[in-house]
Structure 1
């Protein structure tokens, strides 16, 4: 187990897999930890990439302070970690919450980001999104992992996946009891505070934006808005719910690997 301490004293858990010359950094969704990327991390490692994963402050095995959350702080944490590891250039791939962190990181350190992959995310915040986020915040304030599970599951998985994989869906319920509700709420608020609308035209690196047809939390229109601003953006859509890396891991892995090799049209 490896930890890095940030300049403000927060312990960040991280993993480095593989020894390739090219590095891919995978950025978690809001309730994820590094384990959630295992299918993608193994796939990329076997293709010869170095893969870096970490739990953001507030997540998994990292510290969970009561205050001090912002997307900019996540960006700083990541940059400090990569500097500590001696990684100067990299590809960023983020899902959901991690997608916005990836975009903000690319804006702050564009000269170091070779490529971007944004999965099931949004760079903007509208009234509909705020209403969905408010439901999650309310569930967190009730301090019930079971209730949070009941609120989030219909938002993050497609009906088909829920119906066909309900034993797996049910097995996730105990994990929601482990969510730090204060950190979770503060992370949601951090996401809602930052609107990157109108700022992405500065990002000239190749970018793959992937949406899911049945994503209820970030429907495809959010991904299309991202692509509209990008000078070098490519759009792809999979038949999945919000957590595409679990519902359609094979499709996501092929899309990402082809993009990294320059084969996405």
Structure 2
């Protein structure tokens, strides 16, 4: 079953949204992914228990372009999410984010806990995670740093053939799997998405000054934090930092996962999600 596409008119612009599932409303997005009717692996984990709204932020898919660079900040993106929630007619909804989507979840919880039923923050951080962690693949001391940077730069090329883009994407993703030889088993669905170079480039700049750790105590909504023990993108110490400061937050570490516990330990992940929303 493919995702149902709709265009949502808000006071802050028009947004492309994909809907699937049943149950109470839950929003999912990522800071620079472009989604389409094929969906998203992380979002798929929630469709059995929630009605999931998979959102293309500005500069992604058919959503409006940004008229000014500041519209691409995390805070402005959260304001966009609030506008979408109101346009859809929900008094409250939940939000789940993986990786940079998880960073957005942190910001959402800090400023709009009253709009949220619950937060799921997966493989994320509340501050810049590269400079001080040699376990992070984006740290120059990491052995795969140069390899990862090369792949990212190549993927920014909008003129890549679909075949070459897939090859590079697979190679990049394997760097963030505990068992890269199982890639084909994990990514076995016809899900295709792209990366917004505009948003990716902006995030790469914003990240250098990102630090909301001192505001984590403002998150008052029920919060589940998920991390992979072997995560090379957002090392698990950053998830621990979130849990220590968010009142009542629960931390579940996946011991046989890198950056994708929803695929690397799919059965356990799905059980955790069902239990959280019961």
Question: Can you give the 5+ residue segments of structure 1 that lack an aligned partner in the other structure?
Answer: none
Q: Which of 4, 10, 17 is the matching residue for 2:8?
A: 4
CA deviations over 1:153-198 (Å, ceiling 9, x no partner): 244322x1x20234876999x957x433233222333344421111
Q: 1:228 Cα shift? A: 0.9
Q: Which of 30, 33, 52 is the matching residue for 1:31?
A: 33
Residue 123 in 1 paired to residue 136 in 2? Answer: no
Q: 1:7 to 1:137 in 2, by over 3 A?
A: farther
2:271 maps to what in 1? Answer: 254
Q: Which of 207, 230, 237 is the matching residue for 1:214?
A: 230
Q: 1:95 to 1:83 in 2, by over 3 A?
A: same
Secondary structure (helix, strand or coil) at the match of 2:195 reads coil
How many angstroms apart in 2 are the aligned matches of 1:249 and 1:61? 31
How many angstroms apart in 2 are the aligned matches of 1:167 and 1:91? 29
Question: Can you give the 5+ residue segments of structure 2 that lack an aligned partner in the other structure?
Answer: 140-144
Is the 8 Å Cα contact of residues 212 and 240 (structure 1) preserved in structure 2? yes
How many angstroms apart in 2 are the aligned matches of 1:201 and 1:64? 33
1:75-86 counterparts in 2 under 5 A?
75-86=78-89
Is the 8 Å Cα contact of residues 58 and 66 (structure 2) preserved in structure 1? yes
Q: 1:169 to 1:39 in 2, by over 3 A?
A: closer
CA deviations over 1:127-168 (Å, ceiling 9, x no partner): 04664699376445666646853663244322x1x2023487
TM value normalised by structure 1: 0.79
2:182 maps to what in 1? Answer: 164
Is the 8 Å Cα contact of residues 43 and 52 (structure 2) preserved in structure 1? no
Range with bigger deviation, 31-40 or 193-202? 31-40
* RMSD, aligned α-carbons: 3.2
Is the 8 Å Cα contact of residues 210 and 223 (structure 1) preserved in structure 2? yes
Secondary structure (helix, strand or coil) at the match of 2:45 reads helix
